[in-house]
Structure 1
Amino acid sequence: MFKILAQLFLQFFSHRLERRHFRRDVLSERLVPGPARAQLPTAFVESLVAAACSDEAELYLTYDSGPQGLGAGQADERRERFGENRVEQDRPASLGRHLWLCYGNPFNLLLTALALISWVTEDLSAALVIGTMVVVSTLLRFFQETRSNRAAEQLKAMVGNTATVLRPGQAGRSQPSFGVEVPIRDLVPGDIVRLSAGDMIPADLRLLHARDLFVSQAAMTGESLPVEKFAHRAGTEARNPLELDNLCFMGTNVVSGSATAMVIGTGRATFFGNLTTRVAQRDEEPNAFQRGINKVSWLLIRFMLVMAPVVLLINGFTKGDWLEATLFSLSVAVGLTPEMLPMIVTSTLAKGAVVLSRQQVVVKHLDVIQNFGAMDVLCTDKTGTLTQDRIVLERHTDAFGAPSDEVLEYAFLNSYYQSGLKNLLDVAVLERTESRGELRLVERFVKVDELPFDFERRRMSVVVGEEGKGHLLICKGALEEVLQVCTRVRHGASSEPLDAARLVEIRAHTATLNDEGLRVVAVARRELPAAQADYRLADERELTLMGYIAFLDPPKETAVAALKALRRQGVTVKVLTGDNERVTRCVCRAVGLDARELLTGSDLAALDDQALAAACERTAVFARLTPAHKERLVRLLRQRGHVVGFLGDGINDAPALRAADIGISVDSAVDIAKEAADIILLQKSLLVLEQGVAEGRKTFVNMLKYIKMTARSNFGNVFSVLVASAFLPFLPMLPMHLLVQNLLYDLSQTAIPFDNVDEELLERPQHWRSEDLGRFMVFFGPLSSIFDILTYLLMWFVFAANSPEQQRLFQTGWFVEGLISQTLVVHLIRTRKLPFIRSRASWPLLALTLTIIGVGLLLPVSPLAGYFKLQALPWGYFPWLIGILLGYAVLIQLMKGWFVRRYGWQ
């Protein structure tokens, strides 16, 4: 029975505490075209194929829409009909279901069974008390979790992803449509949306117009490379939706290009929504918080499985009443498990989330707050974190360093005509050319085609045409990658072959620029005849290197202080950037990071996982990385036992954000980065992160306080029960007394989320260590048993409670001493310092513990004493009680001093 109970407990605990958010990339291992189609309803698949094969006019007719989209009133009406654009995993539980989940855990079910048995055996007072315990526990948890969930949803709404939707102009006026930002959850079928690089695909879409659109479908198909999508009519022979080139699916994301599309499915009526109702969700690898909770849970379960049967056997054989012994042992089993832990954890995390929100940090998933405090490695990009994110175009020169306006003009045309996401480098180019009046170039050239940027090529090209002349392919990108496709170099007014000698000269010049902290982007061109209109990557060859544009992104003034603060807190910062090694070294030196030992992407490719994992430990700076490199580094660091945070805001950062224990992005990031992140910074600063680390550690310490206090108290109580059961002719405490004492003690702990934390506990990462908890239980638990046994002797010899007729007096004496001692010891265990003098609890915790002590003292003399089978204690008992409590406090304090010197204090 206890084994089954343990299994139920772990299942419940994992479900309610871990709160694993559904990551859409988990489908990538399951969704191959054939099996995926087989698991979807035929009618749904046919509707997607029909939408793909319809022309634009038929599509507008089918979805009652138009080129300008839906009006606000139409969208509201459809939202009422179709519901919000969210899949089932994203929908909060109804109040009724939430209440049932708060009640329906193994311990409440066990208490309910005990109440029913008490009622059947006509012990109505016990049934009433146990039933009250169930109701109070359930309602406390329900109201606390409701508040916490509401706070979390409000925080997430601050950084929710949006989609650009077309809305028609005012009625009666002929004006062009304009795009408005609408929360993704508000999209409805028939909406017309615009897409650009970095956008999440917000629903199932049929493309109407597309320009060099590349979409990552790894979440659906497992394909590692983006696929190109088109707006033209798909061939009717394609019956698998994933193979239709003019459909895009919720959960995928735009890598490059732009498009206009119609929403054809939302929420559960999407490909993703249909699939998640038919494919069992695969649990992703647990993060550090989840692993720690599981370890602690199993420790407590193993202890319960050993102690509860021992209590049953001892009481059964010594008292002869096996029914009473069974009830008593089940009460002990319940008392051994911190049933308030889910509520304490939720409220502690929610409180941390609210505090972090005031510090410009929005938490999307509560369980990562503890990971914030446990984080010992922070991987971050360079731009905007160590630097000011305020890039300025410093120089535009030819390949040999002479200033060149022609190079700036080519760079302008490339940045102006590219349809992908314009990064800070493009913005700097456009700002410089606008100030110089270069916009006149737009009147001379017309865009023909584009070869979008990707993180393998690290370059992008546009093809422009001038009236009466041929086409011009203009390429801009990282120096080495551009040189790979160049065969000539512009030198003055002539063009020369790009031989080995010229390459040495070019690399020497650009290295000098890099050493000054300038980021160099190469610009090249190729003249082409005007006969071609559709260009491919193969056309990006035989280019002429025209020169460079060089940018400066100065280091942040706060970066040095932030890095020192993180170092003091035991957090190692590692820089993972796609920039070249010379610029990276220059910036890292300026902010105090050791960049002498630096690894590049090519170095990583030459190392196996074992060698790279060892190199990760001693290397702090990595340059020229692809998205796959960043993800690999994060995974290897986690495998070596580190709790890893990753800070990024670009498309290339999404894989690493998902791989980290705690993914961190910023509100200005692309949609895919915000979707992958667990925490969103409203201000991109390491100082904000340093404050978040401190709050995460406070949250963890307060959670650990409850677990340590409860485990110690329960261990001591059970040890005392075993001693009393072996020698007393009656039960030392009735099952009802154990349950009431446990409930009152747990109530006193509900203020722990608001407790103060000693400063020294914030100076290093905090990790779950179940072995430390076990050691703490063994050393501190029996201390309470010493004074429990003294209470037994006091009641037996001094107050003559030494027969079954006087057992109520005995049980009352131990009930009061046990409740007050374990409530007061909260203030001793919560700190390694001298309580009340060098470390004070917060006023809510102090007020609640005093209230519970008052309840414990008054209950035996109240009108309810008879129901609880308690009685008034003689006045002579209380001086003895004060002496016992003082002795207990002194012994605890002495043990703390020895324990800290021997094992430390987490």
Structure 2
Amino acid sequence: MHITILKNLFAGFLHARRMTRHFGRRDMLDSVVRTGVGRDAPDALSRTLAVAALDDRDALLDRLGSHVDGLTEQQAEAIRERVGLNEVGREKPLPWWRHLWHCYRNPFNLLLTLLAAISGWTEDLEAVAVIGTMVVLSTLLRFWQEARSNRAADALKALVSNTATVTRRAVSADAAPQAEAYFGVHLAVAPARGVEVPVRMLVPGDIVRLAAGDMIPADCRVLSAKDLFVAQAAMTGESLPVEKFAEHADAATANVLELDNILFMGTNVLSGAATAVVLNTGDRTYFGALAGRVQAVDRGPTSFQAGVNQVSWLLIRFMLVMAPVVLLLNGFTKGDWTEALLFALSVAVGLTPEMLPMIATSTLAKGAVVLSRRKVVVKRLDAIQNLGAMDVLCTDKTGTLTQDRIVLERHTDAWGEQSDRVLELAWLNSRHQTGLKNLLDEAVLERAGTEGPPGQAASYLKIDEIPFDFERRRMSVVVADEEGRHVLITKGAVEEVLRVCDRVLHDGVETPLTPVRLERIRAVASSLNDEGLRVVAVAYRMPEPPRGAYGVADERGLVLAGTIAFLDPPKESTAAALAALAEHGVSVKVLTGDNERVAAKVCRDVGLAPGSVLLGGDVEVMDDAALARAVESHQVFARLTPMHKERIVRLLKDNGRVVGFLGDGINDAPALRAADVGISVDTAVDIAREAADVILLEKSLMVLEEGVIEGRRTFANMLKYIKMTASSNFGNVFSVLVASAFIPFLPMLPIHLLVQNLMYDVSQAAIPFDRVDEEQVRRPQRWQPGEIGRFMLFFGPISSVFDILTFAMMWFVFGANTPERQTLFQSGWFVVGLLTQTLIVHMIRTSKVPFVQSRAAWPLLMMTAAVMAAGLFLPMGPLAEGLRLQALPPLYFALLPLILLGYMVLTQWMKGFYVRRWGWQ
């Protein structure tokens, strides 16, 4: 079973730096903006894109070997074999030899290698063997773990990989005549069909369909577009979206990023719809050509990385101060500067937290494995710690608090009476819109059926579409009836639709929309909201004269037909999940673009007191200082735009909160990027999944609560190692300084320090598998380097007290007080030092009484027991002479339990005092 657990760990997920290679497209795009390389395209690629922008559509398709109806599967496969997968170079794994070099070249291994070289120069072959073993084991273990993790991460990535809608033909039009001649029958060319394929499978010549929320999967040329706005900030740094068209207007454009009809890999569609042909994929894209330069620029450290760095530098600075002191003290008192140098370097190795990267990686990897079994996919390993540190969760309402099973509950006229005409208009709008995919449209189509409501709805033909965007919060389609008359049908948020209406349909008659009628219409909508129904207004007009294209300006002078009301009931598990999150110190804030009455009703139903709801209009007029206070005192925010959500998240972070954001729509992407940990679901739009750090395979707060708890367990286990290392290192160095000052020989040889350090590290390798006390997961946990420094100074000297007692015992009781008997002295301290270092694992892993109130997991118990047994065996066994140790007398083993018991009692007493004074993280 132990082997199985180890396999699960080492088949886990990639170290955060490696994971970024798999999921780092967002980070690379951010780097493009930060470094400015996005405007410096390779000349050859710029010319290619410029030519494609100016090409005639048919000529371009012919040059690409494509067709207006797309490629066949056979054609796509042949092209893919020739050009490869649609992946940029950074996403490809390193060759094994470069990976092995990367696993070796860390400061700790380099320091050990230097020590081995010096030991070889002084002919200390035992030290060379021990140090070499440490370096080889460290390098190979990391290499094996990360190689296995690469494969696991590829499988993980497939769970959340983006897809693109591609037009495919079953039979090539060009191949049909040859097929007919061969088979002797007429073969009709199969109509083109839209299929979802993984982005990595796209090839040049593929025809892709794009809508709001889609990532641009490759470099593409627009073939047709309708109100297509693209966010190119990742390439240009410009915050405003850019409109794209089917034709490029200015043939003299010099900047490739200003081509009107070229779309770039990694950018995303904000609104509108388009059909485009893929020009370049993978490394041949504009983004792929820049990736090499972007790789040289790292994203800023996350809170997790910053915390690990702070702790590492705390210990390294301690080492840089103490090692020279040990060198000078032993050099002057002993007179042998070569031996003093080796001893000082051994102390430096003992103080170096060489296991920190491996413990951190292993602990995070184990956490990711556990979370994956609970339907939580971690894209960035660092995000696990951020989940545990999170103290406020911002979430949308739909699908999180509610069941995400929206049904059309009512279709009424403006006065609240049932109306089939409203259902017919809503069906026409939902049936013919091709923009942002929406559960509301699915509910309308399900209610009315595929053929539409009774009447002539099915006979209408689509003329044009005005796609949805989050500023207008409405969308329109234009259809023609059998007599050729055009009808513009608008559907959207009540206030936004009323803003463009001047009449209302009442008893089949269009009447002016007077203030009195407007007030009554709003009252009807409000009463539906109070019942927890989401209300959408439906309006229309007959444009004259009919034409072929329409735009936002045509959404005016509309006639309000009525409203459709949707029910999305609360999840049964939501109330329990909210209570569990609150119990664990995570407050939940609801950020929604929906109506405040609906949001408040749903919150009350799930046990979340809405209080005073802050509206988007209020957010708009507040300055940052006022809003920073408001975000702390309000729980529910309604009628928000995407930028409002992002601003609220940012100000919560500025207030010192660790913020998680759960969202799945295009309107959530800015907030997902701004949060400490972005959380989305596998059914989210492309840009939301790309922006998220964690993907839920089930959109449930209960699943997320499990992720929070696992994040805290992961952090607690990492903190155990850091506390153990810091305190034991400080105690050892303090003991070395005391012994060096008063003892005429080295208290321990360099080989002893190295072996002891290696065995101590082995005993800690099972920490990722350890249990965590419930008290440690009840509250959010963060890095506190100052607290770690205090802990080190408080607990480190405890071991020194018993080290000094051991010195006295060996000196006075056993007579090991001359250079001739130094081996006995060193053997006695070697055993005590190793046993106390190993026991500290159990003493510091919990604030409770170890082995009684809190018992370590069995892998850690077995590992520490094995190391302690080995420590007792080494001076007594056949390896003693090679390690320059000697057998200890029986009286030593009679006194040893007293020293260890005293050490444990004093540590437990000091631990109780520490907890009462400062608490226990």
TM-score interval, smaller chain? over 0.9
Quick check: 1:631–1:656 contact (8 Å CA) kept in 2? yes
Superposition map of 1:710-859 within 5 A:
710-859=725-874
Superposition map of 1:579-590 within 5 A:
579-590=594-605
Aligned to 2:195: 180
SS in 2 for 1:413: helix
Quick check: 2:596–2:615 contact (8 Å CA) kept in 1? yes
Once the two structures are overlaid, the 10-residue window that deviates more, 846-855 or 60-69, is: 60-69
How many Å apart are 1:61 and its aligned residue? 3.6
Alpha-carbon distance change, 519 to 443 in structure 1, aligned in 2, over 3 angstroms: closer
Residue-by-residue CA offset, 1:92-144 (whole Å, 9 max, x unaligned): 33322221122111121111111111111222222222112211222222223
Aligned to 1:5: none
Aligned to 1:643: 658
Once residues 101 and 279 of structure 2 are traced to their aligned partners in structure 1, the CA distance between those partners, rounded to angstroms, is 36
Q: Give the letter for the 1:162 counterpart.
A: T
Once residues 301 and 804 of structure 1 are traced to their aligned partners in structure 2, the CA distance between those partners, rounded to angstroms, is 32
Aligned to 1:900: 915
SS in 1 for 2:271: strand
SS in 2 for 1:261: strand
How many Å apart are 1:611 and its aligned residue? 1.4
Residue 668 (structure 2) pairs with residue 667 (structure 1)? no
Once residues 386 and 714 of structure 1 are traced to their aligned partners in structure 2, the CA distance between those partners, rounded to angstroms, is 49
SS in 1 for 2:740: helix
Aligned to 1:116: 117
Q: Give the letter for the 1:242 counterpart.
A: L
Quick check: 1:749–1:845 contact (8 Å CA) kept in 2? yes
Alpha-carbon distance change, 150 to 796 in structure 1, aligned in 2, over 3 angstroms: farther
Residue-by-residue CA offset, 1:419-460 (whole Å, 9 max, x unaligned): 112311111111111188527644432222211111111111
Once residues 692 and 811 of structure 2 are traced to their aligned partners in structure 1, the CA distance between those partners, rounded to angstroms, is 62
Once residues 501 and 177 of structure 1 are traced to their aligned partners in structure 2, the CA distance between those partners, rounded to angstroms, is 52
Residue 57 (structure 2) pairs with residue 45 (structure 1)? no
Runs (4 or more) in structure 1 with deviation over 6 Å come to 13-20, 32-35
Residue 664 (structure 2) pairs with residue 628 (structure 1)? no
Quick check: 1:616–1:637 contact (8 Å CA) kept in 2? yes
Quick check: 2:575–2:606 contact (8 Å CA) kept in 1? yes
How many Å apart are 1:709 and its aligned residue? 0.9
Aligned to 1:461: 476
Once residues 742 and 20 of structure 2 are traced to their aligned partners in structure 1, the CA distance between those partners, rounded to angstroms, is 43
SS in 2 for 1:365: coil
Aligned to 1:7: none
Alpha-carbon distance change, 279 to 476 in structure 1, aligned in 2, over 3 angstroms: same
Superposition map of 1:219-618 within 5 A:
219-232=234-247, 235-279=250-294, 282-434=297-449, 437-438=452-453, 441-618=456-633
Once residues 217 and 148 of structure 1 are traced to their aligned partners in structure 2, the CA distance between those partners, rounded to angstroms, is 33
SS in 1 for 2:469: coil
Quick check: 2:19–2:379 contact (8 Å CA) kept in 1? no
Aligned to 1:165: 166
Once residues 264 and 234 of structure 1 are traced to their aligned partners in structure 2, the CA distance between those partners, rounded to angstroms, is 19
Once residues 378 and 584 of structure 1 are traced to their aligned partners in structure 2, the CA distance between those partners, rounded to angstroms, is 16
Quick check: 2:378–2:694 contact (8 Å CA) kept in 1? yes
Alpha-carbon distance change, 439 to 139 in structure 1, aligned in 2, over 3 angstroms: farther
Aligned to 2:103: 102
Residue 679 (structure 2) pairs with residue 677 (structure 1)? no
How many Å apart are 1:663 and its aligned residue? 0.9
Quick check: 1:627–1:656 contact (8 Å CA) kept in 2? yes
How many Å apart are 1:512 and its aligned residue? 1.4
How many Å apart are 1:72 and its aligned residue? 4.6
Quick check: 1:152–1:350 contact (8 Å CA) kept in 2? no
How many Å apart are 1:859 and its aligned residue? 1.9
Aligned to 2:84: 83
Quick check: 2:21–2:90 contact (8 Å CA) kept in 1? no
Q: Give the letter for the 1:247 counterpart.
A: I
SS in 2 for 1:822: helix
Alpha-carbon distance change, 78 to 715 in structure 1, aligned in 2, over 3 angstroms: farther
Q: Give the letter for the 2:587 counterpart.
A: T
Q: Give the letter for the 2:91 counterpart.
A: D
Quick check: 1:33–1:240 contact (8 Å CA) kept in 2? no
SS in 1 for 2:542: strand
Aligned to 2:5: none
Alpha-carbon distance change, 30 to 165 in structure 1, aligned in 2, over 3 angstroms: closer
Aligned to 2:24: 22
Residue-by-residue CA offset, 1:392-427 (whole Å, 9 max, x unaligned): 212222222222221221111111111112311111
How many Å apart are 1:84 and its aligned residue? 3.0
Q: Give the letter for the 1:837 counterpart.
A: V
Residue-by-residue CA offset, 1:317-352 (whole Å, 9 max, x unaligned): 222333332332222222212211111111111111
Residue 166 (structure 2) pairs with residue 151 (structure 1)? no
How many Å apart are 1:295 and its aligned residue? 2.6
SS in 2 for 1:646: strand
Count matched residues. Answer: 893
Once residues 644 and 877 of structure 1 are traced to their aligned partners in structure 2, the CA distance between those partners, rounded to angstroms, is 56
Quick check: 1:29–1:222 contact (8 Å CA) kept in 2? no
Quick check: 2:226–2:273 contact (8 Å CA) kept in 1? yes
After TM superposition, the score normalised by the length of structure 2 is: 0.93
Once residues 505 and 134 of structure 2 are traced to their aligned partners in structure 1, the CA distance between those partners, rounded to angstroms, is 84
How many Å apart are 1:531 and its aligned residue? 4.0
How many Å apart are 1:693 and its aligned residue? 1.0
Once residues 34 and 345 of structure 1 are traced to their aligned partners in structure 2, the CA distance between those partners, rounded to angstroms, is 34
How many Å apart are 1:634 and its aligned residue? 0.9
Residue-by-residue CA offset, 1:660-691 (whole Å, 9 max, x unaligned): 11111111111111111111111111111111
After TM superposition, the score normalised by the length of structure 1 is: 0.94
Once the two structures are overlaid, the 10-residue window that deviates more, 740-749 or 495-504, is: 495-504
Q: Give the letter for the 1:163 counterpart.
A: A
Quick check: 2:468–2:474 contact (8 Å CA) kept in 1? yes
Q: Give the letter for the 2:755 counterpart.
A: V
Once residues 22 and 640 of structure 2 are traced to their aligned partners in structure 1, the CA distance between those partners, rounded to angstroms, is 30
Once residues 129 and 727 of structure 1 are traced to their aligned partners in structure 2, the CA distance between those partners, rounded to angstroms, is 29
SS in 2 for 1:277: helix
Q: Give the letter for the 1:188 counterpart.
A: V
Residue number among 187, 192, 212 corresponding to 2:207 in the alignment = 192
Residue-by-residue CA offset, 1:805-836 (whole Å, 9 max, x unaligned): 22222112111111111112211211112222
How many Å apart are 1:235 and its aligned residue? 4.6
Once residues 823 and 31 of structure 1 are traced to their aligned partners in structure 2, the CA distance between those partners, rounded to angstroms, is 49
Alpha-carbon distance change, 555 to 825 in structure 1, aligned in 2, over 3 angstroms: same
Quick check: 1:288–1:643 contact (8 Å CA) kept in 2? no
Aligned to 1:125: 126
Once residues 143 and 339 of structure 1 are traced to their aligned partners in structure 2, the CA distance between those partners, rounded to angstroms, is 18
Once the two structures are overlaid, the 10-residue window that deviates more, 523-532 or 24-33, is: 24-33
Q: Give the letter for the 2:289 counterpart.
A: N
Q: Give the letter for the 2:779 counterpart.
A: R
How many Å apart are 1:564 and its aligned residue? 0.5
Once residues 246 and 153 of structure 1 are traced to their aligned partners in structure 2, the CA distance between those partners, rounded to angstroms, is 33
Quick check: 1:148–1:347 contact (8 Å CA) kept in 2? no
Quick check: 1:526–1:543 contact (8 Å CA) kept in 2? yes
Alpha-carbon distance change, 694 to 821 in structure 1, aligned in 2, over 3 angstroms: same
How many Å apart are 1:218 and its aligned residue? 2.4
Superposition map of 1:857-872 within 5 A:
857-872=872-887
SS in 2 for 1:555: coil
SS in 1 for 2:366: helix
Residue-by-residue CA offset, 1:587-646 (whole Å, 9 max, x unaligned): 111111121221111111111111111111111110000000111111111111111111
Once the two structures are overlaid, the 10-residue window that deviates more, 252-261 or 554-563, is: 252-261
Alpha-carbon distance change, 404 to 17 in structure 1, aligned in 2, over 3 angstroms: closer
Once residues 198 and 255 of structure 1 are traced to their aligned partners in structure 2, the CA distance between those partners, rounded to angstroms, is 6
Q: Give the letter for the 2:388 counterpart.
A: G
Residue number among 855, 861, 875 corresponding to 2:890 in the alignment = 875
Q: Give the letter for the 2:629 counterpart.
A: A
How many Å apart are 1:35 and its aligned residue? 6.9
